[in-house]
């Protein structure tokens, strides 16, 4: 029989590397298996290459958010900051509690992780795909396309199904299912929203700060987020739009953009502005009343949705009722939602392995002793801002610790 490893990690992403580093720190003999040619491809791409590692504000998670909270109770922000400090990674806190490497380069994070993996003598196999895992005689048999490896404990940390170009495949789901674990159906989260073409016509590439509200067909609020959206040729993107995408689960949804309240908190002030502009640009086309407030193409779109006729008419012809209609569209510019982009364009996967079947202190299965799962593979997903990487690193570290934190002290 080949040599027996203390701990085998399937997946060389955030949770996998964190687990391998932690377990090897206890002198476990660790094998790290990654199907891609390099480790941490998703880390390298996160935050547009700046790598938003974590967030020190109140966590925002969906799926089994209670489980995520318990994981962070066992290994929260203070312990995670200590983990990075121990690896020699200097950090910088930015707006909204976001923590980045001080270089604002993801390569710094990967360098710190890889250096510790090497220092701890973790054995790394790249471009190695795991085809099957079984458990016999208290040993896990890990079959790859070329060989079989044996380990006392394993961690399945192969990530979710989102972003296949960065290594996402959901291959770990079948491994966990083979051991009797249940899966919550997966769907894309943190992805762009697809809308009707009429409401976005001519707006491709325009960015606007606003409040976005997603409503169902009964006009009940599903989610509301504040930030910047980007109009695209298929709909809307940008952080606040992507954070709303996971709530679009039915037909007939709409998105309403409030693009005025951040400037005019009082309705009376907005009407004063519109009436003043009507007087000052009375001999210009109607959309000119919004010049200086919105970009011309967006001004035109707002006026059109407000029902203002712009053919052979002037701003001075607008009635007070017309201005009220414009004000309403500035608060409720409406886009009919046709769906969301798929897993190919999603930053993270919602759904996954049922968390209730794992121990949030060790990430060990309640079904099979020695089997652990961590990261995006589980039914936990968070908002933008470092929450997803934070859960991945914390859950991976807990799997590596396997209840031995007191030993380390």
Q: What is the CATH number of the domain that holds 166?
A: 3.50.50.60
Q: What is the pLDDT of residue 278?
A: 95
Are 373 and 295 found together in one domain?
A: no
Are 159 and 13 found together in one domain?
A: yes
| pTM assigned to the model | 0.92
Are 55 and 74 found together in one domain?
A: yes
> Is residue 358, in this structure, part of any structural domain at all?
yes
> Is residue 270, in this structure, part of any structural domain at all?
yes
Write out the chain in H/E/C secondary structure: CCCEEEEEEECCCHHHHHHHHHHHCCCCCEEEECCCCCCCHHHHHHHHHCCCCEECCCCCEEECHHHHHHHHHHCCHHHHHHHHHHCCCCEEECHHHEEEECCCCHHHHHHHHHHHHHHCCCEEECCCCEEEEEEECCEEEEEECCCEEEEEEEEECCCCCCCHHHCCCCHHHHHHHHCCCCEEEEEEECCCEEECCHHHCCCCCCEEEEEEEEECCCCCEEEEEEEEEEECCCEEECHHHHHHHHHCCCCCCEEEEECCCCCCCCHHHHHHHHHHHHHHCCCCCHHHHHECCECHHHHHHHHHHCCCCCCCCCHHHCCHHHHHHHHHHHHCEEEEEEEECCHHHCCEEEEEECHHHECCCCCEECCCCCEEECHHHECEEECCCCHHHHHHHHHHHHHHHCCCHHHHC
Are 175 and 207 found together in one domain?
A: no
> Is residue 48, in this structure, part of any structural domain at all?
yes
Are 202 and 330 found together in one domain?
A: yes
> Is residue 95, in this structure, part of any structural domain at all?
yes
Are 215 and 301 found together in one domain?
A: yes
Are 183 and 198 found together in one domain?
A: no
Q: What is the pLDDT of residue 406?
A: 61
Instruction: Give how many domains the chain has, as a whole number.
Output: 2
Are 167 and 198 found together in one domain?
A: no
Point out the domain boundary residue: 315, 340, 365: 340
Q: What is the pLDDT of residues 281-314, one digit of tens each?
A: 999 999 999 999 999 999 999 999 999 988 888 9
> Is residue 167, in this structure, part of any structural domain at all?
yes
Q: What is the pLDDT of residue 1?
A: 53
Q: What is the pLDDT of residue 408?
A: 59
Are 160 and 55 found together in one domain?
A: yes
Are 121 and 265 found together in one domain?
A: no
Q: What is the pLDDT of residue 345?
A: 92
Point out the domain boundary residue: 340, 365, 380: 340
> Is residue 345, in this structure, part of any structural domain at all?
no
Are 268 and 329 found together in one domain?
A: yes
Q: What is the pLDDT of residue 311?
A: 84
> Is residue 257, in this structure, part of any structural domain at all?
yes
Q: What is the pLDDT of residue 369?
A: 97
Are 119 and 220 found together in one domain?
A: no
Q: Which domain holds residue 131?
A: 4-188+350-408
Point out the domain boundary residue: 294, 311, 340: 340
> Is residue 8, in this structure, part of any structural domain at all?
yes
Q: Which residues of the chain have pLDDT under 50?
A: 409
């Amino acid at each position: 029989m080949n040599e027996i490893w203390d701990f085998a990690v399937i997946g060389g992403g955030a949770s996998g590397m964190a687990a391998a580093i932690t377990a090897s720190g206890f002198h476990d003999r660790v094998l790290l298996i990654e199907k891609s040619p390099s480790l941490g491809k998703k880390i390298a791409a996160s935050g547009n290459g700046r790598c938003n590692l974590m967030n020190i504000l109140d966590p925002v998670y969906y799926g089994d958010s209670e489980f995520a909270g318990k994981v962070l109770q066992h290994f929260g922000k203070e312990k995670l900051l200590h983990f990075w400090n121990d690896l020699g990674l200097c950090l910088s806190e930015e707006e909204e509690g976001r923590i980045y490497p001080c270089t604002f380069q993801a390569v710094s994070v990967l360098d710190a992780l890889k250096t510790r993996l090497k220092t701890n003598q973790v054995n790394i196999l790249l471009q190695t795909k795991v085809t099957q895992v079984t458990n016999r005689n208290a040993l896990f048999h890990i079959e790859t396309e070329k060989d079989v490896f044996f380990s006392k404990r394993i961690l399945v940390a192969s990530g979710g199904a989102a972003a296949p170009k960065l290594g996402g495949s959901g291959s770990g789901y079948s491994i966990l299912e083979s051991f009797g674990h249940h899966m919550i159906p997966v769907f894309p989260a943190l992805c762009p929203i697809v809308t009707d073409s009429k409401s976005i016509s001519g707006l491709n590439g325009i960015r606007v700060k606003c409040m976005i509200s997603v409503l169902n067909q009964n006009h009940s609020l599903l989610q509301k987020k504040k930030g910047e959206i980007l109009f695209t040729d298929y709909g809307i993107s940008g952080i606040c739009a992507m954070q709303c995408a996971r709530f679009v689960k039915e037909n007939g949804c709409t998105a309403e953009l409030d693009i005025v309240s951040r400037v005019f908190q009082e309705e009376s002030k907005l009407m004063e502005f519109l009436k003043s502009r009507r007087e000052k640009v009375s001999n210009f086309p109607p959309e000119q009343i919004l010049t200086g407030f919105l970009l011309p193409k967006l001004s035109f779109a707002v006026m059109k949705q407000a029902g203002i006729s712009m053919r052979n008419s002037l701003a001075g012809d607008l009635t007070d009722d017309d201005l009220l209609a414009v004000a309403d569209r500035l608060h409720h510019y409406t886009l009919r939602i046709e769906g969301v982009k798929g897993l190919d364009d999603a930053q993270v996967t919602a759904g996954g392995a049922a968390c209730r079947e794992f121990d949030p202190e060790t990430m060990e299965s309640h079904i099979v002793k020695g089997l652990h799962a961590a990261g995006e593979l589980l039914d936990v997903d968070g908002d933008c801002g470092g929450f997803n990487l934070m859960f991945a690193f914390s859950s991976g570290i807990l799997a590596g610790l396997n209840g031995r934190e007191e030993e380390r002290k």
